[in-house]
């Protein structure tokens, strides 16, 4: 049975995971994933959480230092003062704090993990997962040249990835997409992600992507520009998918009603937690809108939770859930690997995976423990 947990301490931890290759997007290049992971200590166990925020506020307004401060100063005291708390009640405790969804999501994840570990139930079972494994997709950064991009994509296809997502930006769009489509053929599941790099004036240009039969174009315009996305969606045949704009189940419902998207990328951090992520899934499913699981270069902890989320029935497209080796040589957990072309959804209690203490220790650059 699930029941509330009493939290006695929250341990914040900064980890540095070097990437196996630089990851370039329209908003910058990352060579090391700096992540904020945390542990809640309860009366009968512990729970682990991970914050999606990056070092810099390039993807969204949140970043590691900001999330750390927000947790220490505003969020963790509310958890510690609450007596006992259930994951379902965490957002209510945080209601007086506006925004900071990734910081809130990380704490909710840890409380949920603690609760589920105590109850002996997995994330997937709790969320309503129906799949035992998920099809892996891969997000491919902007390359130095088209030749280099083709080599990288060929490597991922050899490894068994089902779907390729190319990062695009003005000046790196039609040519690389054409080259990948020509080299790998019409059957390749191919999509693009602009991370808000275009404007409404680029609508005619983006329409030129239609000839490549892409699965979707992800977040071409500003995160606040739902109307622009609706106009774009009427002008092009490629389905429009939103990522950055979808910050809640309500935002998803509004975007769908406006015609701003016909597919939704779900990231738990961006929407404030795995419970809100499930609601985004439910809203989209009720509208017949397919969803897929986004990625934030998670450690094994976030990757485990994303696998559970991706097991829900509305996740109809392969997500940005890759094997650990796509990003990291060493992680804080045992690696997730492609087995028989898919990645198994963890089945153990909670996240179903634990940090490896020696790896966690060697990759950690800072810790802070907050007690009652």
* Closer residue to ligand NPQ (CB): 296 or 307: 296
User: Of 37-45, 62-70, 175-183, 185-193, which segment contacts Mg ion by CB under 5 A?
Assistant: 185-193
Residue 246 contacts residue 255 (beta carbons within 8 Å): yes
Nearer to ligand NPQ, 41 or 260 (CB): 260
CB-based burial of residue 178 (10 Å sphere; 0-12 exposed, 13-18 middle, 19+ buried)?
Answer: middle
Are 317 and 290 within 8 A, CB to CB?
A: yes
**CA 48, CA 111: separation in Å to the nearest integer?**
8
Distance separating alpha carbons of residues 191 and 254, to the nearest angstrom: 24
Shortest distance (Å) from residue 241 CB to ligand NPQ:
10
- How far apart are CB 319 and Mg ion at their closest, in Å? 11
> Could you tell me the two tokens for 44?
């009968």
Please, which residues bridge with residue 41 across strands? 9, 46
Closest approach, Cβ 195 to ligand NPQ, in A, equals 5
Q: Minimum distance between the CB of residue 296 and ligand NPQ, rounded to whole angstroms?
A: 4
Report what 108 binds from ligand NPQ, Mg ion, none; CB cut-off 5-8 Å by kind.
none
220 contacts 194 by C-beta, under 8 angstroms: yes
Q: Residue number with the shortest CB distance to Mg ion?
A: 243
Minimal CA–CA distance to 175: which of 158, 29, 261, 183? 183
End-to-end CA distance of the chain: 27
- Report the residue number, 85 or 307, with the smaller CB distance to ligand NPQ: 307
What residues contact 236, with CB distance under 8 A and at least 6 apart? 203, 206, 207, 209, 210, 217
User: What's the CA gap between 109 and 47, in Å, rounded?
Assistant: 8
User: Measured from the CB atom, is 320 or 354 closer to ligand NPQ?
Assistant: 320
**Would you give the DSSP letter of residue 30?**
E
Task: Note if 167 is an active site residue.
Answer: yes
Taking a C-beta distance cutoff of 8 angstroms, is the pair 168, 26 a contact? yes
The single residue among 50, 62, 243, 331 that binds Mg ion, judged by CB under 5 A, is 243
193 binds Mg ion (CB under 5 A): yes
- How many residues bind Mg ion, per CB under 5 A? 3
Options 27-35, 94-102, 111-119, 238-246: segment touching Mg ion (CB under 5 A): 238-246
In whole angstroms, the minimum distance from the beta carbon of 161 to ligand NPQ comes to: 13
Nearer to ligand NPQ, 23 or 126 (CB): 23
Active site residue 73: no
Residues in contact with ligand NPQ by CB under 6 A are 23, 25, 30, 33, 54, 59, 139, 193, 195, 243, 294-297, 320
Q: Which residues are catalytic?
A: 167, 267
Task: List residues near Mg ion by CB under 5 A.
Answer: 193, 218, 243
């Amino acid at each position: 049975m699930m029941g509330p947990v009493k939290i006695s301490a929250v341990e914040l931890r900064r980890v540095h995971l070097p990437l196996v290759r630089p990851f370039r997007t329209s908003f910058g290049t990352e060579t090391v994933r700096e992540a904020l992971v945390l542990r809640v200590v309860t009366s009968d166990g512990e729970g682990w959480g991970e914050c999606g925020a990056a070092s810099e506020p390039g993807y969204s307004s949140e970043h590691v230092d900001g999330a750390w401060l927000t947790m220490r100063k505003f969020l963790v005291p509310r958890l510690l003062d609450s007596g006992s708390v259930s994951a379902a009640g965490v957002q209510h405790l945080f209601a007086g704090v506006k925004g900071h969804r990734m910081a809130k999501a990380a704490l909710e994840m840890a409380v949920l993990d603690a609760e589920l570990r105590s109850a002996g139930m997995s994330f997937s079972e709790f969320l309503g997962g129906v799949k035992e494994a998920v099809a892996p997709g891969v997000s491919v950064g902007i390359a130095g040249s088209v030749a280099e991009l083709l080599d990288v994509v060929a490597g991922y296809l050899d490894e068994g990835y089902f779907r390729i997502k190319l990062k695009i930006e003005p000046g790196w769009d039609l040519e690389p997409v054409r080259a990948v489509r020509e080299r790998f053929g019409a059957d390749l599941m191919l999509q693009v992600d602009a991370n808000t790099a275009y404007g409404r004036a680029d609508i005619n240009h983006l329409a030129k992507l239609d000839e490549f039969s892409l699965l979707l174009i992800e977040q071409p315009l500003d995160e606040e520009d739902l109307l622009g996305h609706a106009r774009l969606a009427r002008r092009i045949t490629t389905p429009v998918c939103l990522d950055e704009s979808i910050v809640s189940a309500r935002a998803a419902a509004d975007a769908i009603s406006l015609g701003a998207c016909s597919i939704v990328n779900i990231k738990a951090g961006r929407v404030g937690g795995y419970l809100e992520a499930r609601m985004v899934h439910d809203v989209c499913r009720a509208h017949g809108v397919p969803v897929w699981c986004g990625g934030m270069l998670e450690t094994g902890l976030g990757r485990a939770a994303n696998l559970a989320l991706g097991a829900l029935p509305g996740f109809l497209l392969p997500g940005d859930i890759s094997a650990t080796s796509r990003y990291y040589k060493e992680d804080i957990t045992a690696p997730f690997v492609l087995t028989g072309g898919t990645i198994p959804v963890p089945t153990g209690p909670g996240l179903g995976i634990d940090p490896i203490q020696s790896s966690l220790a060697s990759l950690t650059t800072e810790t802070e423990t907050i007690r009652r």
